[in-house]
Amino acid sequence: MKLMVVGCGQCGGRIADQFSKLNRVAHVRRGVDIATNVVAVNSDVADLSGLEHIRADYQHRILIGSQKTSGHGVGKINEMGAEIARDDGDKLIEAIKNTPNFGETDAFLLIAGAAGGTGSGSISVLSQQIKERFPEKPVYNMLVLPFAYEEATEERSVFNVGICLKSCYLVADAIFLVDNQRFIKASHSLRANLDKINYHMVKPFYNLLCAGEEKNSKYIGSKVMDGGDIIQTLSGWTVIGFGQAKTPNLRFSRNADFREQSSEVRKGAEAINAALADLSLRCNPTDAKRGLYLLTAAQADMSMDLINEMSGALKGMATEATIRTGDYPRGDKTLDVTVVLSELVNSSRVMDYFSKTISYINNSRRRQSGLEYGFRGVEDSFKDIPSLL
């Protein structure tokens, strides 16, 4: 599957930068492309200059809103991020149209930090513009949720997240949720943490996108996970994770005794559990209506028993989900698994942001007018959260 990746704002740009690197790795090591193009959109010149892998020209590092921000960002005011995207979104559309192999794009992936200004404000507006211009291709979002310290110190962050989540939900076909706080290493610097999280977020996509692009018959799976399977799985709130288990040196063979084989098979469940523990946002798998897993391992390590065990392990957790599976005979010594859980209902984290956003709005109104606004419950008040569209 080939994505057109658009990083919005600093956070989105940096994660898109990792996708650009991943695409080069796929090209060099596997002879396949998994992105038709990777671009960054920002209102801040310095953020664009800090990127390492995205091509350094105005068609790939796209400056928006320079008349209003003089190239210095929007200072976390995501309404302004939305406004400059409405004004300058045609620059992105132009860059997309000029992509030489645009026709090979299976879907768009737009990425942003939900708590910021430029990315948080522009992502839904740009997604809508892309949907209007290229209605035949799905548009996915990846939203990065802030660290706990940001929520505690900057009330505006939570408000930004709330209206970004709502606006993206109204336009995107699926939204990958990523929790910065989940992968934090307290002893590491902020920059080291961000780099690690960014790498961590793109890693599960590597095998998933490569599997359906393979041209070498040696690496074509028995059940190929192609773009169609992924597109059919992605809907609404979505999480992704990567798990791994070491394969013992004993390969499946007629000579391996029962105990050896069952220990190999257990490795499959171990890899699935590792992927579930690694999901980009903590969630209850029973909330997922759709899911998939891709097993990547040496051909000799993939037995029917192993696949059965893995499918059973995932279905045992995601009991309500229709699960698609695929195998990708690449690799050695490890079983690598990418798990996607999608169409999550009742995401408590999302509901929590909506509820906090409503409190923020009510408090602001109270401060401004002295009026009392009672809390009316999340579902009733969803419409009170402004949309950027």
Ligand X SMILES: Nc1nc2c(ncn2[C@@H]2O[C@H](COP(=O)(O)OP(=O)(O)OP(=O)(O)O)[C@@H](O)[C@H]2O)c(=O)[nH]1
Contact set with ligand X (CB under 6 A): 9-11, 14, 43-44, 47, 73-76, 113, 115-120, 144, 146-147, 150, 180, 194, 197-198
Minimum distance from residue 239 beta carbon to ligand X (Å): 15
Minimum distance from residue 345 beta carbon to ligand X (Å): 25
Minimum distance from residue 190 beta carbon to ligand X (Å): 8
- Both tokens of residue 339? 């798990």
Closer residue to ligand X, CB minimum distance, 74 or 239: 74
Minimum distance from residue 157 beta carbon to ligand X (Å): 6
- Report the DSSP beta bridge partners of residue 7: 40, 111
**Residue 374 in marked binding region:** no
* Region of 71 on the Ramachandran plot (φ > 0 left; ψ -120 to 50 alpha; else beta): left
Say which DSSP state 344 is in.
E
Closer residue to ligand X, CB minimum distance, 2 or 86: 86
Closer residue to ligand X, CB minimum distance, 197 or 274: 197
**Residue 357 in marked binding region:** no
Closer residue to ligand X, CB minimum distance, 197 or 310: 197
**Residue 150 in marked binding region:** yes
**Residue 11 in marked binding region:** yes
* E strand spans, 182-254: 236-246
Closer residue to ligand X, CB minimum distance, 169 or 199: 199
Minimum distance from residue 128 beta carbon to ligand X (Å): 18
Tell me the DSSP string of 73-112: --TT-HHHHHHHHHHHHHHHHHHHHT-TTGGG--EEEEEE
Closer residue to ligand X, CB minimum distance, 11 or 265: 11
Residue 382 CA to residue 212 CA, distance in Å, equals: 39
**Residue 52 in marked binding region:** no
Q: Is the dihedral of CA 374, 154, 378, 171 positive or negative?
A: positive
- Both tokens of residue 135? 């209605």
- Both tokens of residue 246? 């070491």
* Region of 333 on the Ramachandran plot (φ > 0 left; ψ -120 to 50 alpha; else beta): left
Minimum distance from residue 329 beta carbon to ligand X (Å): 32
**Residue 377 in marked binding region:** no
**Residue 37 in marked binding region:** no
Q: Are 339 and 276 in contact (CB under 8 A)?
A: yes
Residue stretches of the annotated binding site for GTP: 10-14, 117-119, 150, 180, 198
